[in-house]
Every structure is written in C-alpha cells, then in structure tokens.
Structure 1
Amino acid sequence: HIQLREFVDKQKIEAFSPDVVIIATGSELTMPQIPGMRNINGLSFKEVLKGEVKIEREKVVVLGGGLIGLETALFLTSLGNDVTVLKRYETISENIDPVYAPHLLSNLQKQGVNIISKVMIMEIEQNQVLIKTHSKELNKVYFDKIVLTRELMPSNKLAKEIEASEVYLIGDALKPRRIFNAVFEGFMVGRQI
C-alpha cells in the first residue's frame, strides 16, 4: 500500500503499521548566525521560487553562491530585479554540474548579476549588509530584499520518531543535494525492498 501527498506524523505511521517506511521529507533552511539577521525580514529561496513572495524591480541581495543561490539570482533578474550574490568562496560550488556551470555563469553575466566572492558577512542592518572582502576591506551592500539560500539541513525529525522494521531516508532528508540523488536513492531503496 502506497500513500502519497498526505500529511504524515508518527501517530499516522504507527496506526498504519508498515513494514517499510521511506522518508523523503526534504530539507529546511536554517537561519545563519549573522549579527542582525533576526532583525530583518529575510526571505527563503523556496518562498521566492514558489511564487509565494513577489519581488519585482527591487535591489536584492542573495546570501549564498551555490547552485540554489545562483539559480535564484537568475530567476530574480528575470523579474527585473537588480541582484547581488554574496558568496564565501571564489570557486563555483562543487554541487554544480561542470557541463552546466559555464551556461549558468554566462546567463548570470548576461543578466547583469553582480557576484561578490570571497566575502565574510559581518553584520546585517535594516537595508545593508556589512561584508569583509578577501583583502580585509569592509564594504556595505544595500538591498530592498534579502534572500537566504545557505545552510540547508536535512528534515529528518520524523525518521527519528518512528519505530518500523525498516526506515529509509532518501534525498535531502538524508543530506541536501540535487534531485537526481533523491531519484537514484529512491530507485535503490525500491530495488532493495
């Protein structure tokens, strides 16, 4: 018996008494530990990409320059926003397919996304981010909206609560990565059981 697209909690699983439980609950965005972060209304990339929040023709700072951050920046520019991505490292994240990376970077450049690499975020105030560059300079980046794309954590609390003979975590519930990881893990678990 398979049940999809339904709210599930410990009680529902125990009432069903399954032999096997496969958990693909995804990941959650954690709040970065940056001074001032709790005083602003930061948006999650999920809210932005799902269209739950409309951002048009504004100055937007995206925190995080991994695949999610860069694709979110590209999406935001398509809505007429002026986007700056702040990223810790100089290199492109290893979670971006090397075949796709040049295409993504080319599109970001064509759309005018400003990517500032090798920065440490020191503090966030009402409409500005104080950053320290690799040369130890302090600079301010101004914004109307700020979007969070860093610090994804597995959403696997349910797996720790339930007692079933076999419990499998797949996808971001195991470790935040890309969609093909979840599909492959689902396939492998399906073959195993």
Structure 2
Amino acid sequence: EAQKRIAARDYRANAGLESERALALGERARDIVDLMNRLEDAGDLRDRLAALSGPLLRPARPDRAGAAPPERTASAGGPPPYRLPVIGQLVTGMGEVNDGGVRSRGLTLVTQPGAQAIAPTAGRVAFAGPYRDYGQILIIDHGQGWTTLITGLHRVTAQVGDSVRQGEPVGVTGAERPNITVELRRNGRPVDIVPLVGLG
C-alpha cells in the first residue's frame, strides 16, 4: 500500500512537471510569433511608405502642369525563389508535434558543427541577435508580406538593416550537432517550405 501511494505521488509529480514543460514551450512559441508579427507590421508600414510617390515639386509653369502621376502599388507576387539556409539532415517537418506538444511551423535540420548559414532568398535583415532562449536568431523581410525566421545559430554575421542576396552568408552554426530551424511566413502565416526547395 505504501509503495503504491509513493508511486502514485511520483506519477502525479512527473505529470505536473511535463504539463509545466509543455506550457513553457507553448509560451516560447507565442513569444517568437509575437516578435515576428511586430516586425512584419513594421515591414508592411515601410513598404507602404516606400510605395508613396513622395512630394511633388512645384512646376516652373503651373499653367502647363499635367495631372499627378499615379501612386506605385506593390504587386502581390508568389513565393520568392527559396533555398534552405543550411545543409543537413531533416529531423522535424512542417506540422509535426514535438515531445512538448508544440506543432512545428517550419523545418529543423541537424548540421555539421561550424556550418555556414546563408540567406534563403533576398531581403532585408529585420532582426539579428539573441532572443530569449532561442539563441542567436535571424529574421529576414523579403517584402510583400514574406519573412524568414532562422533560429539556433551560434553566431549571426548579418546586421539589422543589411540587404542580403540569396546565398549570401548570414551566420554560423554551433558545435555538437547543432539544430537549425527555418520558418517561412506570408502575412504572418506559416508556409510549407518543402515544395519550394524540391524536398517533396
């Protein structure tokens, strides 16, 4: 009886710890989503401002001035040409649920220690550096609502505001089988990378 009570108490304690761990992982996922949403909102505002025609100069002869040129509008294109940021073994696919009960919104790859990470496609660096317990992360704004998040880097070599081309080095992985996660989003919603890089 005593052993059964002790075992039941241990099971309850373990269940409580696992529940707290799952809640913590869920909070981490929400934190990174909130950060990306804030950066995407700022990028959308920047795109709208860039699309404005700007102030019109006063014509030398107002009586001969024509109508104002129409404002430029950004075209809503398809997904950008895309490459994986690192070469490695795929360990978690889009939509898979991990041990903590969190659904993956991207791909996780195990790479060689000290591997070079590259920009998956052209864009502007919106965030670069440490973020909570994700390690060094990188967020690239590709325009037209497209953004890429790369987590798990040991060192980021790009800086906020840098314009990067596809394939340009942006960071370095760490030691001991580093896990690199990459997420592609369109207007805040996760997009499956697999069809874009030909893994399907």
Query: Given the two structures, how large is their TM-score scaled by the length of structure 2?
Result: 0.21
- Structure whose alpha-carbon radius of gyration is higher: 2
Larger RCO of the pair (alpha carbons < 8 Å, separation 6+): 1
Q: Give the TM-score of the pair, scaled to structure 1.
A: 0.21
